[in-house]
Amino acid sequence: MKVTGDWLTADSTQAVFAALRADGNSAFAVGGCVRNALMNVPVTDVDIATDATPETVQALAQAAGLKSVPTGIDHGTITVVSGGTGYEVTTFRADTETNGRHAIVRFSTDMAEDAARRDFTMNALYADAGGQVVDPLGGLPDLEARRVRFIGNAHDRIVEDYLRILRFFRFAAWYGDPDLGFDADALAAIADTLDGLNGLSRERIGGEMIKLLSASDPAPAVGSMEQTGVLHVILPGSATRGLAPLIHLEHSADLAPDAIRRLAALGVFDGDGLRLSKKQQRRLEQYQSLISTSEPPAELGYRHGAEVARDVLLLRAALLEIPLDADALRNVEMGSRQKCPVKPGDLMPAYSGAELGAKLREIEDRWVASGFALSKSDLLG
């Protein structure tokens, strides 16, 4: 079996392969790029595995006129820059000790050892410079079936890095076949290792949740997280009831996935607990503050803009499990286009400072309450 694509045939990629093989070493694309190419999913990053030591990788890159950066040299990773693109080149490794987060590794010349330390069978696939796929652990059948399965013993893989619990559900959402359900051994191991999640940083948890919720339909995966107890550990107080209806409404409206909107549907209030960006946190807080208000659609559109108002209507409908009102959406658009006819200059110099602001708000409230019908003369009369 072969893979192909610009990611592989690009001069910059081939230059890295050629540099690494110049001294008789092996070099293989590995992991996500091979997996995605086989699944006809866009490839964004190309990682390369080799039997060359990090020091040899640096020397070979220099000899080929390529820049190398020791981004993770202690763990065997050198970033080789070719044609302006960075390629993470990592020496084959085997774990000698793990503690749930960081592993102590030794370098290896054995691809099978390198494959065995990875997380899921669909990620333990390699391809040479010509695209020939190498499958040292028999992961191709799982990939072809879209079955997310841990390599070897699921419990052992999880205790090596507890973030793999969340990665399991993320990969299920992105690459799994929902009709297959979830691997029973994996779910049993996850239920048995929940305490390990408490040792993960909020940044790592938040990053995984944003990626998971950006999948086309993460509802089955998040539902399984709830059933196994994972969701309660990482997002206490959250609930999945509104997520599937929201996703259905998004698809009906032809809207792209939005992780923050979906977090709001889960009832998440504390975005800071997931170490979201300030912009993401503000959006989440805005959604949560508006979902339960009685602001009508047109007013939502006027005060908060069409996009936020539309999302609030989506969330309200999802949480109430009712259809989205097309008239309400039209009112949102109408409201978002309105501009109050009274400006500060119209009230000066009779009003100034705090009194001016209060008077403007009072006039604006009357105008909004009228359905934007009152004219400037009506408002000032």
What pLDDT, in 10s, does the model give residues 167-204?
999 999 999 998 999 999 999 999 999 999 999 999 99
- Provide the domain limits for residue 329: 235-338
Same domain, 141 and 1: yes
Question: DSSP character for 359?
Answer: H
Q: How far apart are CA 150 and CA 139, in angstroms?
A: 10
As to burial, measured by CB atoms within 10 angstroms (0-12 exposed, 13-18 middle, 19+ buried), residue 247 is: buried
How much is the CA Rg of the chain, to the nearest whole Å?
A: 27
Of residues 76, 30, 74, 38, the one with CA closest to residue 57: 76
H/E stretch holding 8: helix 6-9
Binned at pLDDT 50, 70 and 90, residue 75 comes out as confident
**pLDDT on residue 307:** 97
Domains identified in the chain, total number: 4
Q: Is the pLDDT of residue 100 over 60?
A: no
Q: What is the percent of the chain with per-residue pLDDT over 70, rounded to a whole number?
A: 98
**pLDDT on residue 273:** 78
Same domain, 25 and 138: yes
**pLDDT on residue 248:** 97
Q: How far apart are CA 56 and CA 21, in angstroms?
A: 11
Binned at pLDDT 50, 70 and 90, residue 101 comes out as low
Q: What is the pLDDT of residues 151-161, one digit of tens each?
A: 999 999 999 99
Q: What is the pLDDT of residues 282-336, one digit of tens each?
A: 999 999 999 999 999 999 999 999 999 999 999 999 999 999 999 999 999 999 9
Contact 260/245 with Cβ under 8 angstroms? no
Query: Mean pLDDT across the chain, nearest whole number?
Result: 94
Strands (E), 171-282: none
Same domain, 195 and 309: no
Same domain, 26 and 122: yes
Q: How far apart are CA 87 and CA 8, in angstroms?
A: 12
Same domain, 13 and 103: yes
**pLDDT on residue 199:** 93
Same domain, 90 and 204: no
Q: Is the pLDDT of residue 105 over 90?
A: no
Same domain, 93 and 212: no
Lowest mean pLDDT among 88-97, 102-111, 357-366: 102-111
Q: How far apart are CA 130 and CA 333, in angstroms?
A: 53
Same domain, 126 and 264: no
Position 85, amino acid: T
Q: How far apart are CA 190 and CA 315, in angstroms?
A: 30
Residue for token digits 């503050």? 289
Same domain, 132 and 25: yes
Residue for token digits 């410079």? 129
Q: For the residues 138-162, what does the mean pLDDT come to?
A: 96
Same domain, 324 and 366: no
Of residues 346, 292, 337, 348, the one with CA closest to residue 316: 292
Same domain, 63 and 1: yes
Please enumerate, as own/partner, the contacts of 58-61 that have beta carbons within 8 Å and a separation of 24 or more.
Answer: 60/19, 60/20, 60/22, 60/23, 60/25, 61/16, 61/19
Same domain, 179 and 262: no
Domain boundary among 166, 198, 226: 226
Q: How far apart are CA 310 and CA 323, in angstroms?
A: 13
Length of the chain: 381
Question: DSSP character for 199?
Answer: G
pTM of the model: 0.90
Say which CATH number the domain at 127 has. 3.30.460.10
